[in-house]
Amino acid sequence: MRRSGQMGVPVIVAGDEVIIGFDRSRLARLVERMRGQISRPRLGALVKEMPGKGLLVGGVREGSPAAQAGLRPGDLIVTVDRVPVRTIPDLQHMIGERRPGESARLEIYRDGQPLILQLAF
């Protein structure tokens, strides 16, 4: 209310810009401007939930953090930084918290044997 003087309509504040109400064109411009500023790390692997076990890797994108760490199709991801991973949203949240230059410790099983991999973002 202090910035816009409005009480009854949506008010979106992004940096110095204040958008009052639902202004589709201004919101679209704001999103385009901010698109390059918001970057979340991606693992670069296709995974499938294996209830009670972890996440099964089905594919790894070449050049991705997963590929650089040595993750392979058939690996089973069980923890990220020692925290159990049970669902795809768990993994997305844990990886999405990272910033460029940070890393994450993956505990996996490959052919029934435990391995530790380091992901770099």
At 53, is the pLDDT very low, low, confident or very high (cuts 50, 70, 90)?
Answer: very high
Are residues 68 and 36 in contact, defined by beta-carbon separation less than 8 angstroms? Answer: no
At 2, is the pLDDT very low, low, confident or very high (cuts 50, 70, 90)?
Answer: low
| pLDDT tens digits along 3-44 | 556 666 777 877 777 888 878 888 888 877 777 665 677 899
**DSSP string of 46-83, one letter each residue:** EEEEETTTEEEEEEE-TTSHHHHHT--TT-EEEEETTE
| pLDDT tens digits along 62-116 | 999 999 999 999 999 999 999 999 999 999 889 888 887 889 999 999 999 999 9
Handedness of CA 58, 64, 66, 71 (dihedral sign): positive
Burial class (CB in 10 A: 0-12, 13-18, 19+), 104: buried
Element (H, E) at 20: strand 17-20
Q: What is the pLDDT of residue 1?
A: 57
- Does the predicted TM-score (pTM) go above 0.85? no
Domain definitions of the chain by residue range: 1-38, 45-120
Beta pairing partners, 83: 80
45-120, superfamily in CATH?
PDZ domain (2.30.42.10)
Question: What's the Cα-to-Cα distance from 28 to each of 17, 42, 44, 62, 85, rounded to whole Å?
Answer: 13, 24, 28, 32, 35
